Chains A and B, each alone.
Chain A
Amino acid sequence: MSVTGTLKTTSAGFQWSAWLKSNSIPLFILAFLIAFPFIVGQMTGSSPYGEVRGERFIMRGASVRWQSVLIEIFILGILTMSYNLLFGFTGVISFGHALFFGSAGYILGLSLEYVAIDTSLGLALGVTLGILFCGLMGLLVGAATLRLKGVYFAIFTLAVAEMFYIFASRWQLTRAEDGFAISALPAWIDPAQSRLNFYYIALVLFALTFLFIKRLVHSPTGAVLKAIRENEDRAQTLGFDTLRYKLFAIVASAMLAGVAGLLQVILNKKVGPELLSIDYTVNPLLMTIIGGIGTLWGPIVGSSSLFMLDIFLRDSQFTVGGITVNMANIWGLLLGSIFIAAVMVFPRGIVGTSQQLWLRLRAKGAESPPKLHGAPPDQ
Chain B
Amino acid sequence: MRSSRNSWLTVVVLFAALIVLALLSANSLGSFGITILSGLFQGMLLFLVASGLSIVFGLMDVLNLAQGAYFMIGAYVAYDIQHAGGLIDVTAAIPDPNIRFVFAVIGAILVGAGLGMLLERGLLRPLYSRPIFQLVLTFGFSLVLIEIVKAVWSTTPYSWTEMFGIREGFFELFGQRFSTYRLFVVGAGFALIIVIGLLLQRTRTGIIIRAGVEDREMVQALGINIKMIFTLVFTLGCAVAALGGAIAAPFLGASITLGNAFLLQAVAVVVLGGMGSYGGTAVASILVGLAISVAQDVAIGTNFAALSSITPMLLLVLVLLLRPSGLFGSSR
| Residues of chain A whose beta carbon lies under 8 Å from any beta carbon of chain B | 93, 144-145, 147-149, 151-152, 155-156, 158-160, 162-163, 166-167, 170-171, 278, 282, 285-286, 289-290, 293, 330, 332-333, 335-340, 342-344, 347
Tally the A-B contacts, defined by beta carbons under 8 Å: 112
Please determine whether A286 and B139 come into contact, CB atoms closer than 8 angstroms: yes
Query: With A159-B316, A336-B143, A340-B144 as given contacts, are A285 and B135 in contact (CB-CB < 8 Å)?
Result: yes
Please determine whether A336 and B147 come into contact, CB atoms closer than 8 angstroms: yes
Please determine whether A156 and B316 come into contact, CB atoms closer than 8 angstroms: yes
Interface SS majority for chain B: helix
Shortest Cβ gap from A276 to chain B (Å): 13
Pick from B57, B271, B306: contact of A152, CB under 8 Å: B271
Pick from B63, B130, B141: contact of A151, CB under 8 Å: B63
Please determine whether B314 and A163 come into contact, CB atoms closer than 8 angstroms: yes
Shortest Cβ gap from B205 to chain A (Å): 26
Q: How far is the CA of A343 from the CA of B140 in the complex (A)?
A: 10
Pick from A156, A166, A170, A339: contact of B317, CB under 8 Å: A156
Interface SS majority for chain A: helix
Given A152-B275, A152-B324, A333-B151, 15 more A-B residue pairs with CB atoms under 8 Å apart are A147-B324, A151-B271, A151-B275, A152-B326, A155-B316, A155-B320, A159-B268, A167-B306, A170-B309, A289-B133, A293-B132, A336-B147, A339-B136, A340-B140, A342-B136
**Closest chain A residue, CB of each to CB of B130:** A347
Q: Which A-B residue pairs are the 6 nearest by beta carbons?
A: A339-B140, A336-B143, A336-B144, A333-B147, A170-B306, A159-B313
Q: How far is the CA of A289 from the CA of B140 in the complex (A)?
A: 13
**Chain A proximity mask over B306-332: 1 for CB below 8 Å, otherwise 0:** 100110011011001100111000001
Q: Which residues of B contact A151 (CB under 8 A)?
A: 57, 63, 271, 275
Please determine whether B135 and A170 come into contact, CB atoms closer than 8 angstroms: no
Pick from A171, A278, A336: contact of B140, CB under 8 Å: A336
Please determine whether B150 and A332 come into contact, CB atoms closer than 8 angstroms: yes
Q: Which residues of A contact B313 (CB under 8 A)?
A: 159-160, 162-163, 166
Q: Which residues of B contact A144 (CB under 8 A)?
A: 321
25 contacts between A and B (CB under 8 A): A145-B320, A145-B321, A148-B320, A152-B271, A152-B320, A152-B326, A155-B267, A159-B317, A160-B313, A160-B317, A162-B313, A163-B314, A163-B317, A167-B310, A170-B305, A170-B309, A289-B132, A332-B146, A336-B140, A336-B144, A338-B140, A340-B137, A342-B136, A343-B136, A343-B137
B126 an interface residue at 8 Å Cβ cutoff? yes
**Chain A proximity mask over B181-222: 1 for CB below 8 Å, otherwise 0:** 000000000000000000000000000000000000000000
Please determine whether A156 and B320 come into contact, CB atoms closer than 8 angstroms: yes
Could you tell me which residues of chain B, from 2 to 40, have a CB within 8 Å of some CB in chain A? none
Shortest Cβ gap from A283 to chain B (Å): 11
Identify which of A156, A159, A285, A342 gathers the most chain B CB atoms within 10 Å of its CB: A159
Q: How far is the CA of A219 from the CA of B261 in the complex (A)?
A: 43
Pick from B143, B306, B309: contact of A335, CB under 8 Å: B143
Q: Which residues of A contact B309 (CB under 8 A)?
A: 166, 170
Q: How far is the CA of A344 from the CA of B148 in the complex (A)?
A: 21
Pick from A148, A155, A290: contact of B268, CB under 8 Å: A155
Q: How far is the CA of A337 from the CA of B324 in the complex (A)?
A: 37
Q: How far is the CA of A163 from the CA of B314 in the complex (A)?
A: 7
Q: Which residues of B contact A148 (CB under 8 A)?
A: 320, 324-325
Q: How far is the CA of A167 from the CA of B275 in the complex (A)?
A: 28
Interface size on B, residues (CB 8 A): 41
Q: Which residues of A contact B325 (CB under 8 A)?
A: 148-149, 152
Please determine whether A347 and B133 come into contact, CB atoms closer than 8 angstroms: yes
Query: With A152-B326, A159-B313, A159-B317 as given contacts, are A337 and B140 in contact (CB-CB < 8 Å)?
Result: yes
Shortest Cβ gap from B26 to chain A (Å): 24
**Closest chain B residue, CB of each to CB of A141:** B317
Q: Which residues of A contact B57 (CB under 8 A)?
A: 151
B87 an interface residue at 8 Å Cβ cutoff? no
B142 an interface residue at 8 Å Cβ cutoff? yes
B224 an interface residue at 8 Å Cβ cutoff? no
Please determine whether A337 and B144 come into contact, CB atoms closer than 8 angstroms: yes
B300 an interface residue at 8 Å Cβ cutoff? no
Q: Which residues of B contact A337 (CB under 8 A)?
A: 140, 144
Q: How far is the CA of A278 from the CA of B268 in the complex (A)?
A: 14
Shortest Cβ gap from B240 to chain A (Å): 21
B252 an interface residue at 8 Å Cβ cutoff? no
Q: Which residues of A contact B126 (CB under 8 A)?
A: 344
B127 an interface residue at 8 Å Cβ cutoff? yes
Please determine whether B144 and A286 come into contact, CB atoms closer than 8 angstroms: no
B166 an interface residue at 8 Å Cβ cutoff? no
Query: With A151-B275, A152-B325, A155-B267 as given contacts, are A171 and B306 in contact (CB-CB < 8 Å)?
Result: yes
Q: How far is the CA of A144 from the CA of B264 in the complex (A)?
A: 22
Query: With A155-B268, A156-B316, A278-B264 as given contacts, are A332 and B143 in contact (CB-CB < 8 Å)?
Result: yes
Q: How far is the CA of A278 from the CA of B267 in the complex (A)?
A: 14
Shortest Cβ gap from B144 to chain A (Å): 4
Identify which of B268, B313, B316, B325 gathers the most chain A CB atoms within 10 Å of its CB: B313
Q: How far is the CA of A167 from the CA of B306 in the complex (A)?
A: 7
Shortest Cβ gap from A248 to chain B (Å): 21
Query: With A145-B320, A289-B136, A336-B140 as given contacts, are A163 and B147 in contact (CB-CB < 8 Å)?
Result: no
Please determine whether B267 and A158 come into contact, CB atoms closer than 8 angstroms: yes
Q: How far is the CA of A343 from the CA of B126 in the complex (A)?
A: 10
Shortest Cβ gap from A344 to chain B (Å): 7
Shortest Cβ gap from B321 to chain A (Å): 6
Shortest Cβ gap from B306 to chain A (Å): 4
Shortest Cβ gap from B49 to chain A (Å): 15
Q: How far is the CA of A337 from the CA of B140 in the complex (A)?
A: 7
Q: How far is the CA of A299 from the CA of B130 in the complex (A)?
A: 19
Please determine whether A155 and B271 come into contact, CB atoms closer than 8 angstroms: yes
**Closest chain B residue, CB of each to CB of A344:** B126
Q: Which residues of B contact A347 (CB under 8 A)?
A: 130, 133
Identify which of B63, B142, B147, B268 gathers the most chain A CB atoms within 10 Å of its CB: B147
